[in-house]
Amino acid sequence: MHWQPAQSAERFARRPHVIAWTCECWPIVYEKLMTGGSYLIRRTDQNDRVSAVPLESSPTSRKEADVLWRRLMSGTAV
């Protein structure tokens, strides 16, 4: 799995819409985002709350984002 620094605000004209997420009580929080017909996954490591920097996957189709989301949730994403 390749993650890059979050750049949603710069990449998209509109703010991304969160369509799925994991509990903020977990050390690592995942969000599935949609904007302008593109989908991506955001990952935030909350172990160090002072410097928790979100990372994102590359924008993709809904189908590919759904597959990636299922793999992340099942622990099979590499």
Q: Tens digit of pLDDT for each residue in 59-68?
A: 999 999 999 9
* Mean of pLDDT values over 8-27: 80
Structure tokens at 29: 């929080």
What's the one-letter identity of residue 25?
C
Residue 43: name the closest of 62, 13, 21 by CA. 21
Question: Could you tell me where the DSSP H helices lie in 4-78?
Answer: 8-11, 62-74
Query: pLDDT at position 1, please?
Result: 77
Structure tokens at 9: 């605000």
Helix H or strand E encompassing 13: none
